[in-house]
């Protein structure tokens, strides 16, 4: 029998799952958790490894080929290597990726690699140590850069992310281009998104991704074709640079038409969109492998209610008060 693929009413196919393994984070990025992590739900319990195993098996049976582990900060979980290994061993999963602030990268990358990690996204909103500390609250840039070199030596596919922040890091964009000149890293610029918690910050610091696109094109960077499990970035290359530049523009026209990803929170709720009003509880079907078929049926039926777009342009942020709660 041919493997099935999750799809929605708009003909979009979903082979990519972003799984948040915790909503806790140890950083206090100014656009995400300016006051650090605050517990909103004292009863919150993260999915355990057995629930994660059952979840991933069901998604993989429905065509999921790529899993990105995210958070909060996923590396605050002591069993992260175990989770990576579970994902890597799931039949049908070809890529196991991790999004991290890099805090434990240098110490743990070998272990994550051995567990089966093949792709890594590291958030680095500045390549200037002082500004990095101002944005994240942590003086860790040097250690993170050392960790990246180890990851590259291990042959892991590395991407870095910076959120575009008008008046904060936007003047340093040329430094990111220089950094990928001789490194096989794709650097992604993410347009700042408005969430429930950051309205004033958003108004002060949002920089249009289209402006950055024009700037890149002017300097000879050219748009590359994307594949079916690629993330949301438009990727650009330049013949003078070994690395690439990615641009993630959620406010851009037609951003949602190529959506290929679904999200599950660390409490086991399916979010059909980063900015959906509600999550759909899957946890009751994650307790036994025998519940697989029921879980697959539920996923397929929930997909029919996925909306065409996120309505971010209208200032709508759903139930997402910050991205730490679901992973971006």
What does the angle CA 254 – CA 256 – CA 262 come to, to the nearest 5 degrees?
165
Burial group, residue 119, by CB count within 10 angstroms (0-12, 13-18, 19+): middle
| Residue 31 lies near ligand SAM (rule: CB under 6 A) | yes
| Residue 27 lies near ligand SF4 (rule: CB under 6 A) | yes
Show the site string, 237-276: x = touches ligand SF4 by CB under 6 A, - = not: ----------------------------------------
70, 97 contact by CB (below 8 A): no
Name which position in 25, 145, 177, 247 contacts ligand SAM (CB under 6 A): 25
Contacts of 172 (CB under 8 A, 6+ apart): 126, 127, 128, 131
46, 21 contact by CB (below 8 A): yes
* Residue 70 interface partner, choices ligand SAM, ligand SF4, none, CB cut-off 5-8 Å depending on type: ligand SAM
What does the angle CA 18 – CA 209 – CA 265 come to, to the nearest 5 degrees?
15
Q: DSSP 3-state assignment of 291?
A: helix
Q: How far apart are CA 116 and CA 114, in angstroms?
A: 5
Listed residue (33, 65, 63, 68) closest to 159, CA to CA: 68
| Residue 98 lies near ligand SAM (rule: CB under 6 A) | no
| Residue 29 lies near ligand SF4 (rule: CB under 6 A) | yes
Show the site string, 38-77: x = touches ligand SF4 by CB under 6 A, - = not: ---------------------------------xxx----
* Residue 33 interface partner, choices ligand SF4, ligand SAM, none, CB cut-off 5-8 Å depending on type: ligand SF4
Residues in 81-140 that interact with ligand SF4 by CB under 6 A: 101, 123
Stretch that binds ligand SAM, among 52-60, 174-182, 193-201, 300-308 (CB under 6 A): 193-201
Residue 240 burial (CB count, 10 A): 10
Stretch that binds ligand SF4, among 24-32, 43-51, 171-179, 180-188 (CB under 6 A): 24-32
Nearer to ligand SF4, 53 or 188 (CB): 188
Phi and psi for 273 in degrees, rounded to 5?
Answer: -150, 155
Q: DSSP 3-state assignment of 246?
A: strand
* Residue 195 interface partner, choices ligand SF4, ligand SAM, none, CB cut-off 5-8 Å depending on type: ligand SAM
Name which position in 46, 54, 81, 123 contacts ligand SAM (CB under 6 A): 123
* Residue 100 interface partner, choices ligand SAM, ligand SF4, none, CB cut-off 5-8 Å depending on type: ligand SAM
Nearest residue to ligand SAM by CB is: 328
Q: How far apart are CA 169 and CA 164, in angstroms?
A: 7
235, 284 contact by CB (below 8 A): no
| Residue 264 lies near ligand SAM (rule: CB under 6 A) | no
- Tokens in use for 3? 């493997």
Which residues of the shown chain bind ligand SAM in the complex (CB under 6 A)? Answer: 25, 31-32, 70-71, 73, 99-101, 123, 161, 163, 190, 192-193, 195, 198, 323-324, 327-328
């Amino acid at each position: 029998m041919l493997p099935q693929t999750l799809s929605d009413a708009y003909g979009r196919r979903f082979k990519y799952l972003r799984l948040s393994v915790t909503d806790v984070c140890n950083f206090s990025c100014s656009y995400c958790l300016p006051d650090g992590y605050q517990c909103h739900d004292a009863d919150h319990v993260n999915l355990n490894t057995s629930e994660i195993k059952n979840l991933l098996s069901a998604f993989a049976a429905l065509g999921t080929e790529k899993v990105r582990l995210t958070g909060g900060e996923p590396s605050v979980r002591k069993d992260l290597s175990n989770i990576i290994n579970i994902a890597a061993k799931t039949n049908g999963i070809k890529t196991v990726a991790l999004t991290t602030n890099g805090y434990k990268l240098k110490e743990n990358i070998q272990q994550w690699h051995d567990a089966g990690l093949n792709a890594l996204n590291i958030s680095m909103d500045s390549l200037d140590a002082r500004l990095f500390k101002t944005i994240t609250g942590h003086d860790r840039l040097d250690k993170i850069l050392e960790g990246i070199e180890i990851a590259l030596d291990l042959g892991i596919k590395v991407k870095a992310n910076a959120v575009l922040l008008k008046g904060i890091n936007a003047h340093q964009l040329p430094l990111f281009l220089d950094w990928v000149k001789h490194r096989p890293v794709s650097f992604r610029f993410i347009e700042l998104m408005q969430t429930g918690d950051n309205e004033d910050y958003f108004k002060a610091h949002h920089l249009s991704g289209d402006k950055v696109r024009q700037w890149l094109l002017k300097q000879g960077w050219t748009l590359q074709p994307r594949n079916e499990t690629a993330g949301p970035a438009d990727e650009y290359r330049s013949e003078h640079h070994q690395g690439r530049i990615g641009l993630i523009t959620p406010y851009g026209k037609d951003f949602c038409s190529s959506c290929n990803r679904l999200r599950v929170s660390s409490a086991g709720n399916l979010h059909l969109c980063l900015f959906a009003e509600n999550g759909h509880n899957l946890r009751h079907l994650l307790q036994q492998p025998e519940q697989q078929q029921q879980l697959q049926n539920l996923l397929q039926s929930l997909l029919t209610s996925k909306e065409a777009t996120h309505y971010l342009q209208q200032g709508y942020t759903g139930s997402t008060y910050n991205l730490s709660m679901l992973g971006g």
